[in-house]
Structure 1
Amino acid sequence: MSTTAVTSPRTLPPGPFQAMTWGWTGVRGTWTTAAARASMEAMLEVRPTWVVLAYAALQDTAQSTTIRWQEAPSLTDGEIRAAAAHARELGLRVCLKPTVNVADGTWRAHIGFFDRDVPGEPTWDEWFDSYDAYILHHAALAEELGADLFSIGCEMVRADAREDRWRSLAARVREVYSGPITYNCDKYQEDRLAWWDAVDVLSSSGYYPTGTWDEHLSRIEPVVERHDREFVFLEAGCPSRDTSPARPNDWNMVGVPDEHAQAAYLDEMLTALAGRAWVRGVALWDWPPALYAREEAALNDDYCMFGKAGAAVVARHFAAPLA
């Protein structure tokens, strides 16, 4: 096992980490429009201090080993540069968050291969070689843009066990990017990763059911203390449906639009986070590059809180920062 631990982690810039995730899924042609500029500007109504620019490249299936990050529908570097520049104009700090999606709809957590290589079968090393090229390119772009945080991966649950490859990738990213790096593990995985010491900031997707936040924060806290790193939720949120607070990670949950259910969940979550000094902040999911009309907000059942009761909740909490 590699021992490339980081003994003196890089830290986040001073000030509150109050973030909104913007731009998902990063489809080419959607980030440089007038609608995209208006969307990012409208995001200021919830009073963020950071924006997480989140975008994905595609691989065909969960067992494909080629990530097609240089072709459409992936964003161009120019589109990412433009979004980062606009965020800076609005006074926001910037996190770049490249990730990977599977074109057939399989969740990226299920990307995986045999533990032992078998002739003729795809392998972890083949996949990581493609993934590394993708992430290293965007790490260099993050350095060019002066990004304040860079994420090397998101919710790769089956891949999490490939410790040596993640440690190697983190070390190579450090050679081209001088800021802090993080890995966004999936919910329930915070106490399972064996290589947290390879990154600077611990982060996870905090889609925990209503009524369970204190339980999960108490589970995560010893992990943060043990590794002596800053911690953020790099994703968290809830669709505006009546059923979603019970399973906020499930965007396919059947239910009727209910902005007040979303608002109550966000208030519960942000109140719980404010009570834990070790939580540096949260990046809420999410704000699309093209918004629905404000008058349609009550009928929109997605994560975005634009024009909904949740926007006022977030603005109130962000006015009283966690750190």
Structure 2
Amino acid sequence: MEFIKGFTYGWMSRRGDFTKPEAKESMRLLKERTNTNCVIISLAALQDGPHSTVVDYTGDHMVADEELIEMVEYAQSMDLKVMLKPTVNCKDGTWRAHINFFDLDVPCEPKWKDWFKSYTKYQMHYAEIAQRTNCDMFIVGCEMVQTERREQEWRNLIKEVRAIYKGPITYNTDKYQEGNVRWWDAVDVISSSGYYPIDDWDQQLARIESILKPFNKPFFFAEAGCPSRSNSPYIPNDWGLEGKTDMKAQADYYQVMFEKAGQKEWVKGFGLWDWKALLHDENEAFANDDYAVFGKPAEKVIYDFYLAK
């Protein structure tokens, strides 16, 4: 598999955001400023909470199909590869990893079968768009830790997606969870979120490599990154960590991650987190302590690494 020099684009974009000129300019700048060759357009459907069985992908919290298709085609016009990643958030703020139901059906309680029916309908909708627009990969889920034990439901979902989308399929498991997914054989590519502490990459890479060997499939980090915030390199997955804005901390994290993971032959790329459709003002980048890299020193680190690959 060709090395994926990727970036997640457009997370949390709402209806109409992709129609704004700034969104296309953001896509253009993403390629120019980071040397990215692949964008992962990530969508955020909503359900009320972790025990709701209805996944809503039709409201104003989602970009419209027409604007999504136009953005995919715009990215492709710049010779960018495109992956589509429809995922889900909970309205009450609970992280999607905690979506969970009883394993045995109980009357009057929400059930796995109802959630998977709704979630599969959601995936099928965007699988059709991915097929129609010739997307290069389809990501059927992200960091849904408690759902992963429902092996047969995931196998059924992937089978249904394959009936529509003919390209490669992956599932993005969460950090540390690579060994918990028992159905990696059902996907074409294995992926996970690489938010590992800056001083723990060697140990985690050795662990992941040993897990991957029996499956003999390509692997990439579908997410990876770090906020520009003091101490974040040691807890890069904690978006709420308190600390001072620290550009060097973020740049150092990327440098170490690329030195450790980027040189492993079996790591076939990154889908870095993340690049907004509507960017902050570059003149105010020094005050931004989020995962964004636009106008920050980390941007140059990424450009140099992707250029060398």
**Alignment of structure 1 residues 63-142 onto 2, 5 Å:** 63-142=51-130
The alpha-carbon deviation at position 236 of structure 1 amounts to 0.2
d(CA) in 1 for partners of 2:78 and 2:202?
34
The alpha-carbon deviation at position 177 of structure 1 amounts to 0.5
Aligned residues: 308
Superimposed CA distance per residue, residues 265-298 of structure 1 (whole angstroms, 9 cap, x where no aligned partner): 0010011122210010011000011111111111
- The 4+ residue runs of structure 1 with deviation greater than 4 A are none
Q: Is the 8 A contact 1:245 1:262 kept in 2?
A: yes
The alpha-carbon deviation at position 47 of structure 1 amounts to 0.3
Question: Residue 8 of structure 2 aligns with which residue?
Answer: 21
Superimposed CA distance per residue, residues 107-153 of structure 1 (whole angstroms, 9 cap, x where no aligned partner): 00001111111000000111000000000111111000100000000
d(CA) in 1 for partners of 2:127 and 2:13?
17
Other structure's SS at 2:167 match: coil
Matched, 1:43 2:33: no
Matched, 1:225 2:213: yes
Question: Residue 30 of structure 1 aligns with which residue?
Answer: 17
Pick the aligned partner of 1:241 from 229, 253, 260: 229
Other structure's SS at 1:31 match: helix
TM-score (norm 1): 0.94
d(CA) in 2 for partners of 1:223 and 1:49?
28
Other structure's SS at 2:178 match: coil
Q: Which runs of 5+ in 1 are unaligned?
A: 1-11
Question: Residue 189 of structure 1 aligns with which residue?
Answer: 177
**Alignment of structure 1 residues 281-300 onto 2, 5 Å:** 281-300=269-288
Question: Residue 279 of structure 1 aligns with which residue?
Answer: 267
Q: Is the 8 A contact 1:16 1:49 kept in 2?
A: no
Question: Residue 306 of structure 2 aligns with which residue?
Answer: 318
Q: Which runs of 5+ in 2 are unaligned?
A: none
d(CA) in 1 for partners of 2:262 and 2:236?
20
Pick the aligned partner of 1:210 from 177, 198, 202: 198
Other structure's SS at 1:106 match: coil
Superimposed CA distance per residue, residues 193-232 of structure 1 (whole angstroms, 9 cap, x where no aligned partner): 1000000000000000111011111000022221010000
Equivalent position amino acid for 2:13 in 1: G
d(CA) in 1 for partners of 2:19 and 2:193?
28
Other structure's SS at 1:158 match: helix
TM-score (norm 2): 0.98
- Two-structure CA RMSD over aligned residues (Å): 0.9
